[in-house]
Amino acid sequence: MPATTAKPFETKTLGAAVDTTAPDGTAVRLLPSLAGGSMAHFELPAGAVSHAVTHRTVEEIWFVLSGRGSIWRRGDGQERTEPLAPGTSLTIPLGTTFQFRAEAGSPLAFIAITMPPWPGAAEALAASGPWAPTVAAGPI
C-alpha cells in the first residue's frame, strides 16, 4: 500500500479560554481543522457590534448557537440585513463585506467553518459597514 500523508484524527473539546480575537472583534476558540477547512467558535458580547470586514481568500459557513442579533452582508450586487437567532445558518461568500451585532441580554455565539483554513490576521480587510463598532478589533 502507498504511504499516506493524511492528517491524524483530531478531537477537541471547546475550551473556556479564548484563543485569539478575530479582526472583526469577536472572541475566538479554535476547533479542529483539515487541509480543506478550519472550524472555530465565535462570541460577540451582548449588545456589541463587530467591525465590518472583507476576506481576501476564504469563505465561510456559520451556524448560530445562542443569542440573537443581525448580520449585514454586501457583495456581488446584493446588500441585505437579516436576523440571527439560534439555528440560523448562513454563508459568507468570497469577497463579501459583512458586519454583525448582538442584541442586549446575551452574547451572540456561532460556529464558523472557513474554507480554505484561516490563513492568519492579514486575511481580513477593514471595511465600512452600517453600524459603529463597539468592540476592539483583532489584528488586521
Peptide bond into 116 cis (omega under 30): yes
This prediction's pTM: 0.93
**What pLDDT sits at residue 3?**
59
- 75, 30, 50, 57: which is closest to 126 by C-alpha? 50
User: What is the block-wise mean pLDDT of the chain (140 residues), using blocks of 10 residues?
Assistant: 69 94 97 95 98 97 98 96 98 97 97 96 94 94
Longest dimension (CA), the chain: 58
Measured CA to CA, the distance from residue 55 to residue 92 in angstroms comes to 9
Angle at 42 (CA atoms; ends 29, 137), nearest 5 degrees: 95
What was the pLDDT predicted at 140?
78
Structural domains present in the chain: 21-126 (2.60.120.10)
Check: CB of residue 82 under 8 Å from CB of residue 124. no
Give the model's pLDDT for residue 102.
Answer: 98
